[in-house]
Amino acid sequence: MHKHSPPSTKRLLKLKLNGRWREDAVSEQELLVDYLRDVTHLTGTKIGCDGGECGACTVLVDGEAVPSCITLAVRCEGRNVETIEALATQGRLSRLQSAFHEKLGTQCGFCTPGMIMAAEALLRSNPTPTDGEIRTALSGNLCRCTGYVKIIESVKAAAGVTS
């Protein structure tokens, strides 16, 4: 959305995005979410609020889940950024993706990419989380469809944790 903007200071941003290094000229004020959606055309990362309130834009930066709508793109210089598009490898769904699909952890799907990325960060650091740990890890991600019941079931299924 910024590409027609009057000239603003741009700098070359080099980062690792979904496993590949790339360089782009970005404005200093470009938010990470806008960079991902508008520059790299990775629209899986969603915008649900006016800044930092809903978690729909959650991506991983160096493995940590962060809200990309209140992160400046230039802060990701030299860092490893992962989005929902990175999870399926060669078309095969990741365990979390399969579980969210099969257990109906997704209904309208709009919060889903952010929710899955937050869950991904959790499972990488804690492969067998408790219910409480799942709740804490996903507590910044709002979902309006599921009541979260099947989201918790999905994360547990992906982790191989039974109720």
Contacts (CB under 8 A) with another protein, residues 4-43: 4-6, 8-9, 27-29, 31, 34, 37, 42-43
Q: Out of 21, 25, 109, 128, point to the residue binding another protein (CB under 8 A).
A: 109
150 Cα distance to chain centroid:
19
Return the number of other C-beta atoms located less than 10 Å from residue 128's C-beta.
Answer: 10
The phi and psi torsions of 106 (rounded to 5 degrees) equal -125, 135
Q: Out of 24, 80, 104, 161, point to the residue binding another protein (CB under 8 A).
A: 104
Q: Out of 64, 126, 130, 160, point to the residue binding another protein (CB under 8 A).
A: 64
CB of 21: closest distance to another protein in angstroms? 19
Counting Cα atoms < 13 Å in the Cβ hemisphere of 64 gives 6
**156: contact with another protein by CB under 8 A:** no
Q: What 3-state class would DSSP assign to 24? A: strand
**160: contact with another protein by CB under 8 A:** no
